[in-house]
Amino acid sequence: MSAEKRQAEFVFKSKLSLQLKVDMMNSSASASPSSNSPQSPKRIVAIAGATGLVGREILQGLLNDDSVAAIHALGRRPASVQHPKLTSHVVDFAALPSLPPLDEVYLALGTTIKVAGSQEAFRAVDFAANLAVARAALAAGARRAGLVSAMGADAHSRIFYNRVKGELEEALSALDFHVLVIARPSFLAGDRETLGQPIRGGEKFAMSVSTLLRPLIPANYRSIAAADVARALLARVPLAQGKAVLLSGVMQSR
């Protein structure tokens, strides 16, 4: 890797580290100085798509976080784990019930056109279901949201997949969340087989190429571990202010 590329990656990751420090300072400054409790109130969180590649990692991170009091997992099938602070809700995303009181929500629902069967069915999951959860969470009091989007998301793209992702980002940005953190990963690396998910041919090929040529590929275009995406969202959502977009290169752990 050239010195210029190494320097660019260093600057990229330094910006994320600096932003995290700024978020922590802003969060501390906004805390109420008159609180009688020595600790901040514990968070109540919802997650949609906890059985997916990134969603599973987000859920595990929330379960391990002592500042999280309760987690409500919304999905088309029950969450694959059990835990005292986890409540699994099997729901119809086209007719969501009212949600319990919430502080934040993570949106990790996603499919492919091949699995969904049509562009319309794909849009029903990646756009409509995520947006429905966001609106329901907002109505339940959530003011912080994290979204698993995709590299290339653009509401005006000619590519259907990228356009749907971009339209969802725009729709969420128009809602009244105080904080919206959007993760735009490149090709996701993770064990889909253990989740019962089909291996995506194009994704598998891209990851093989990315592994082979990794030092030569710009950080934003390398494959990225699902766990890295989850960690980035979990670090930013509780502390961020306003809207933030995390590009794939910033989220890379290596």
Tell me what pLDDT residue 28 has.
44
Distance (Å, whole) CA 192 – CA 182: 22
Per-residue pLDDT tens listing for the chain (254 residues): 555 545 545 544 555 555 555 554 554 444 433 333 345 679 999 999 999 999 999 999 999 999 999 999 999 888 889 999 999 999 999 999 999 999 999 999 999 898 999 999 999 999 999 999 999 999 999 999 999 999 999 999 999 999 999 999 999 999 999 999 999 999 888 665 555 555 555 556 665 666 666 666 777 778 899 999 999 999 999 999 999 999 998 898 76
Distance (Å, whole) CA 208 – CA 98: 43
Tell me what pLDDT residue 124 has.
97
Distance (Å, whole) CA 216 – CA 146: 30
Distance (Å, whole) CA 193 – CA 134: 29
Among residues 86, 66, 62, 113, the alpha carbon closest in space to that of 231 is found at 62
Helix, strand and coil in the chain, % to nearest 5: 45, 15, 40
Tell me what pLDDT residue 221 has.
74
Tell me what pLDDT residue 83 has.
97
- The tokens for 203 are 């994704």
What is the pairing mode between strands 86-90 and 68-75? parallel
